[in-house]
Amino acid sequence: MKKEIKTGPIMTALLVAGFVGLFSETALNIALGDLGNIFEVGPTTVQWLATGYFLTLGILIPVTGILMQKFTTRQMFLTSIILTILGTVLAALAPSFGFLLAGRIIQAAGLAINLPLTQNVIFTIFPPNRRGAAMGIMGLVMLAGPALGPTIAGLILDTLSWDWIFWAQVPFLLLSLIIGVFYVPNVNEVRKISIDLLSVILSTIGFGGIVYGFSVSGDNGWTSSIVIGSIVIGLIGVILFSMRQMKMEQPMMNLRAFKYPLFVLGVFMSFITFFNMLSMLVILPMYMQMALLIAAFTTGLVLLPGSLLNCILAPIIGGLFDKYGPRAIITPGTILVIIAYALYAQLGTDAALWVVIVIHIIMMLGIGAVLASTQTNTLNSLPKRYYPDGIAITQTIQQVAGAVGIAVMVSLLSAKQNSYLAIVNDRLPEAVASGSSFVFTIGLVFAVINFILSLFMKKPVDVH
């Protein structure tokens, strides 16, 4: 007799851990300046707390596709949550910068397992007509974690010491562990497969090189030999990795998923969405703090209404996706993102905070409609045997898109800002506003491309 699967507790265990990991991804950004002073390291070194996190995700997520087929769901879940707890406690107790960085990397390793695992479990335990709602809730976590990180971290830094950013995460992780021990079942089919060491090496060099190259471009400049070398080596690594996967009978990441047109379309849309979203989450606070001259905590509060509204509506949007199909949700979402970018591009140094709040609400509603629905439709277009591979591909693309988006947009902002200051000296707020407007205009162009792509979205025929 088949044991009944309790979807509520399973989702709670996985999503609480995912939320904490994604919260941690951005929570530390607001504290980097303070941590640099505390541990007596320069801005380039302290930036590794963010870069190292991204890099670990970029390297490990491609490997999880094959690990999910080799190990049971429970083994993967317990490994993920224990790594996250260990990394968080190590970071909280860190006596030196090296320990703090090690804690961050172990935390990221836990998240690198959690994100693909959660998606795989959703696609295994929910039938196609209920996946939209479940992925909507996961979308909520993927947006709420990074969005709430700076606000809550700002509040903690104002009232407590920096290590409480980590200690605050521990009770939630222990809750996730306890629920998971009792309720997370083995839902995947374990196969006897060997892990190809050369594929792992090529994947690490490829995706790691690209993420690293783009991540350090802000400090070193685009003409730096380290940046160019890392990106070129990364691209060569990805090409060699892809060629090897196509020749293997049991590839580490089955790229044959790309023969499904709706999957390819979804991957393109996901790349643009994450490129825009993660760079916007960095650029917008910079604009508010440097052009509007408001404090970090106030910045977090301004961004809060849009994030909270998105949390409330995410499951509803997912339910509408299940009922009306992808285009009815994704296309209106892309239109909202276009409107938000068009309005952001008009902002100067005298923008009222309520205007920024309203535009951010429009933006978050748009992203909320696009993000989870695109992911659901992308994976629905694959046969079940390709789910682990499809998830590993889309999650890797998203991490690479985020790293590339932040690096490219921040460097464009700096370039525009510096060219403005070369003409008009001592006018930093106006220079930042000019740079932000330029970057938001580029975001607008990408948003329009996403709108056009969304017109080709449709519900996949049954491919199972």
Q: How confident is the model at residue 451 (pLDDT cuts 50, 70, 90)?
A: very high
Which of 92-106, 271-285, 298-312 has the weakest average pLDDT?
298-312
Which of 131, 154, 184 lies at the terminal end of a domain, its last residue? Answer: 184
Task: For residue 464, tell me if it sits in a domain.
Answer: no
- Is the distance from CB of 241 to CB of 206 less than 8 angstroms? yes
Residue 190 lies in a domain: no
Burial classification of residue 445, based on how many CB atoms lie within 10 Å of its CB (0-12 exposed, 13-18 middle, 19 or more buried): exposed
Q: What is the mean pLDDT of residues 294-323?
A: 81
Token digits for 276? Answer: 């825009």
Q: Do 270 and 375 contact (CB within 8 A), yes or no?
A: yes
H/E run at residue 32: helix 32-38
- Regarding whether 337 and 274 lie in a shared domain, the answer is yes
The verdict on 328 and 274 lying in the same domain is yes
Q: pLDDT confidence of 200, banded at 50, 70, 90?
A: confident
Residues 137 and 210 in one domain: no
The pLDDT score that the predictor gives to residue 2 is 43
Average pLDDT over residues 132-147: 78
Query: Is residue 189 included in any domain, yes or no?
Result: no
Same domain, 276 and 400: yes
Is the domain of 309 the same as that of 208?
Answer: no
Pair (247, 326) in one structural domain: no
pLDDT of residue 4: 63
120 within some domain: yes
The tally of domains found in the chain comes to 3
Does 74 lie in the same domain as 167? yes
Predicted confidence at residue 297, as pLDDT, reads 73
Are 1 and 87 found together in one domain?
yes
SS3 of residue 425 by DSSP: coil
Q: Which of 317, 445, 307 is nearest to 371 (CA)?
A: 317
Find the mean pLDDT for residues 168-193: 87
Report whether pLDDT(402) > 50: yes
Query: H-helix or E-strand containing 294?
Result: none
For 393, what's the count of Cα atoms within 13 Å in the CB-facing half-sphere?
25
Q: Which amino acid is at 413?
A: L
Mean predicted confidence (pLDDT) in 28-54:
79
Residue at a domain's end among 162, 184, 206: 184
For the CA atoms of 88, 90, 94, 98, the dihedral, rounded to the nearest 10 degrees, stands at: -100
Is the pLDDT at 464 greater than 60, yes or no? no
Q: How confident is the model at residue 463 (pLDDT cuts 50, 70, 90)?
A: low
- 103 compared with 250, residue with greater pLDDT: 103
pLDDT at 142: 73
The pLDDT value recorded for residue 1 is: 32
Q: Is the pLDDT of residue 174 over 90?
A: yes
Co-location of 270 and 244 in the same domain? no
Q: 310 with 377, same domain? A: yes
Do 362 and 455 reside in the same domain of the chain?
yes
| 90 domain residue, yes or no | yes
Instruction: Report pLDDT digits (tens) over 69-81.
Output: 888 889 999 999 9
- Cα–Cα distance for residue pair 21/72, rounded to 1 Å: 21
Q: Does any domain span residue 191?
A: no
Look at residue 166 and tell me if it is in a domain.
Answer: yes
Q: Do residues 377 and 266 share a domain?
A: yes
How much is the average pLDDT of 449-455?
94
Instruction: Output the domain CATH number for residue 263.
Output: 1.20.1250.20
Judge whether residue 374 has pLDDT over 80: yes
Which of 138, 157, 184 is the endpoint of a domain? Answer: 184
Quote the CA–CA distance of 327 and 151 in Å, as a whole number.
Answer: 33
Write out pLDDT tens, residues 220-272: 777 889 889 999 999 999 999 999 988 888 788 888 888 899 999 999 999 99
Lowest mean pLDDT, pick from 54-58, 167-171, 217-221: 217-221
Q: What pTM did the predictor assign?
A: 0.84
Instruction: Give pLDDT, residue 3.
Output: 52
Q: Is residue 347 part of a domain?
A: yes
Question: 262 lies in which domain range?
Answer: 256-459
